[in-house]
Amino acid sequence: MKFAIQVNEGPYQHQAADSAYFFAKAALEKGHEIFRIFFYHDGVNNATRLTTPPQDDRNVVERWAELGGHYDLDMVVCVAAAQRRGVVDEGEAQRNGKDATNIHPRFRISGLGQLVEAAIQSDRLVVFGD
């Protein structure tokens, strides 16, 4: 089965990011395909490379990055939600006159069209969070 996953909650405010990660990991380990993971609303905070949790806590951003790297996943951050929350890549920094970036290199910023395409191309769209 081919899945698209939408993550709407941040890495530490809600269980949704952890649940989405474990769902994706389990699906991939069972041989399913993930067309795309789309981070929306506060879910875009799963993509910031500046997250530094305490040593005894899980590093949700690194978990996503490692999973994405291992399975070559397309992990897309919604541009509008990212702009509102200060998640910036090189292109958005230049376009908006910012002097720094903070997106983890395993993620990319794009628009809602990527979510629509993922839903069309997949057998199921699974949404985590409100």
Separation CA 65–CA 47 (nearest Å) = 8
**Residue 11 a catalytic site member:** no
Residue type (1 letter), 117: E
The residue annotated as part of the active site, out of 27, 78, 82, 125, is 78
47 with 60: CB under 8 angstroms?
Answer: no
Residue with tokens 């090189």: 90
Residue 32 phi/psi, 5-degree rounding, is -80, 165
Task: Say if residues 81 and 63 touch (Cβ distance below 8 Å).
Answer: no
Residues that are catalytic? 78
